[in-house]
Amino acid sequence: MSLSEYRESLTELTGLELWYAAEKGAEHGHDLKTSVNSWTDLYCFSAFFGKEISVRENAEWNAFLEKLPGYDVAAFMVNFEPRMKKDLENARKDISRSFAGFMYEFHHEYFEPPDSGELLTLHFRNYFAPDSPSDHGNELAARLSELVAKARVERPDVRKVQCASWLNNIPFFLRLFPDAWQANAADCPYEPSAGWWGQFIDRSGGISLKNTAYLKERGEFKYKNTHSVCAISDLERHLSVIY
């Protein structure tokens, strides 16, 4: 994806998220700042973004929102512009270093306290763009198996794997995991993140017209962000069988 293509895609996504924020703001009686912070993940693209600073605690971001006359896409894009090139470069690096799109970290179980213990936590981006990852099932399984083996060496004490994503509703993704993955699935409470908004990016990196139309027609997401967990040993056995 070129920088201009990324800018176009982000502009469309921003417009969609601001539409959703306006709809939800009107429904709940929220002002613009509260609506944007409660219903969008646009802070993540902001020039003021800080990983260690929550959206409601970032004074510069909130001052920016308070000055806006309305849900102005152009104003947000001006704010996003300083980071676009670097974000795109970092995304390319992350994908090139990934296991066919799978990346990992060790994180405590979602929705549990930090002292509950760490799990192997998966993240996913489309490594095969503009192809669909669903057309590369064998490679996905093989590379996911490599990831698990590497993570096992790094942290032999970790026994479970987790992922929270809208992809936990999609057949090609579910086929990579054992039955326990779906059996243990639970819908995540709404919190603006890629786990929800990622479904609006299509396989080429553009906007998914189908999922956008669904949201605008029904006022709800087609796919929920779903949290799934299974034993790493179960995932290893499953992957050894399917490829």
Q: Is the pLDDT of residue 185 over 80?
A: yes
- Which residues, at least 6 apart from 146, have a Cβ–Cβ distance to it below 8 Å? 99
H helical segments located in 100-231: 137-154, 171-174, 179-183, 194-197, 209-218
Q: Is the pLDDT of residue 1 over 90?
A: no
pLDDT digits (tens, 9 = 90+) for 119-167: 999 999 999 999 999 999 999 999 999 999 999 999 999 999 999 999 9
Q: Is the pLDDT of residue 243 over 90?
A: no
In the block, tokens 């794997």 appear at 161
Asked if residues 164 and 110 have their Cβ atoms less than 8 Å apart, the reply is yes
* Residue 234 parent element (H or E): helix 232-242
pLDDT of residue 230: 98
Q: Is the pLDDT of residue 11 over 80?
A: yes
pLDDT of residue 14: 98
Q: What is the mean pLDDT of the chain?
A: 96
Inter-axis angle of helices 137-154 and 232-242, to 10 degrees?
A: 150
Angle at alpha carbon of residue 63, lines to 5 and 53, rounded to 5°: 75
pLDDT digits (tens, 9 = 90+) for 78-105: 999 999 999 999 999 999 999 999 999 9
For residue 4, which of 60, 88, 111 has the smallest C-alpha distance? 88
Return d(Cα 4, Cα 159) in angstroms, integer: 43
pLDDT digits (tens, 9 = 90+) for 24-50: 999 999 999 999 999 999 999 999 999
pLDDT digits (tens, 9 = 90+) for 52-68: 899 999 999 999 999 99
Angle at alpha carbon of residue 199, lines to 224 and 184, rounded to 5°: 35
